[in-house]
Homo-oligomer: A and B are copies of this chain.
Amino acid sequence: MGTQHIISIGDFDRDGIDRLLDHAGQIDKKKFDPDALAGKILAVLFFEPSTRTRMSFESAIARLGGTSISVGSVDACSMAKGETLADTIRVVSGYADAIVIRHPKEGAARLAAEFSTVPVINAGDGAGQHPSQTLLDLYTIRQSMPIDGIDIALVGDLRYGRTAHSLASALSLYNARLHTVSPNGLELPQTLAAKLRDRGMEIIEHDDIREVIPDVDVLYVTRIQRERFPDSASYFNVSSSNRITPELLEGARKHLIVLHPLPRVDEIDPRVDNSPHAKYFEQSRNGVPMRMAMLLQVLQ
């Protein structure tokens, strides 16, 4: 049996996902050996900054008794100077028992896995995959409701938002119905939409977030980056029209949950934070048990 990597959520079947979610649930109930990965070293190789993903993985390995050695984004820059990613990976896999990689280019994680002698976990590569985020998203949904057959609205930048793409793909295994609300020009890519429909997923596009609120179980809000817009007036216009407020949620289902991969900027009114709908901070916290389950899967 070869080395096990976690590169894309698309590499998992539904059983594989459910097993990981179950495991994270056990870990959440403190049912794990705090020395399970004692003596193991996780190399955290981030070629672009992502403080929270990095800290979450570092926390996960520490909770299991292991150690992380980190390459900051600045270091990684200098590391990569003139050296191929293949060489970097071969060197780093001599220092560690597993590698978590984040890279600005799509496909980098799969390339890394080819050259690594130890397991590689993709922590986001370009517009590509971010499987640990998708798993913790699914885990957070399942804490509130069975995932099967949910109605979920994806709100925000659905063109560039890799977390939304990964989650939509995974949900096609759970008979979910997808509602999309995105500004002009930031719609879900047609090729992805076509692929999801091929798998039998129903996708409904909406122009107005208000019309989707009463009909969904999950609101998945993503950050809209100011850089996508020609000027701040048009950014402000778009971000305020989709802004989640307590007033907007008045007509929502009682069990509706609001998720966001964070950081948020203007997309969710802070007054929503104390509402029972708000689950984004739990979602963030769930990153630790979910990543612990992933580390145990590849390292045990």
Contact = CB atoms under 8 A, between A and B. Distances in A.
Interface of A: 34, 39, 41, 43, 49, 51-52, 54-56, 58-59, 62-63, 65, 67-69, 71-76, 78-79, 81-84, 86-88, 90-92, 94-96, 262-265, 270, 281, 284-285, 287-288
Contact of A95 (B55, B86, B90): B55
Contacts of A82: 263, 265
A69 B55 contact: yes
Given A63-B39, A69-B55, A69-B62, A288 B78 contact: no
Nearest to A66: B62
- Copies of this protein in the assembly total 3
Contacts of A72: 72, 74-75
Cβ-closest 8 pairs across A and B:
A94-B285, A83-B263, A51-B79, A62-B67, A59-B95, A58-B69, A82-B265, A49-B78
Given A49-B75, A75-B49, A75-B72, A55 B83 contact: no
B59 A96 contact: yes
Given A58-B69, A59-B41, A264 B87 contact: yes
A59 B69 contact: yes
Contacts of A83: 262-265
B55 A263 contact: no
12 contacts: A41-B59, A41-B62, A51-B71, A52-B95, A55-B92, A62-B69, A72-B74, A81-B263, A82-B263, A86-B270, A91-B262, A91-B263
A65 B88 CA distance: 25
Nearest to A60: B95
A264 B95 CA distance: 18
Contact of A75 (B51, B67, B84, B87): B51
A52 B79 contact: yes
Contacts of A78: 49, 51
A75 B51 CA distance: 6
A95 B56 contact: yes
A43 B52 CA distance: 11
Nearest to A78: B49
A94 B281 contact: yes
A195 to B, nearest CB: 32
Contacts of A34: 39
Contacts of A92: 52, 55
Contacts of A91: 52, 262-263, 281, 284
A185 to B, nearest CB: 21
Nearest to A95: B59
A288 B95 contact: yes
A82 B284 CA distance: 17
A224 B72 CA distance: 26
Contacts of A58: 69
A201 to B, nearest CB: 31
Contacts of A75: 49, 51, 54, 72-73
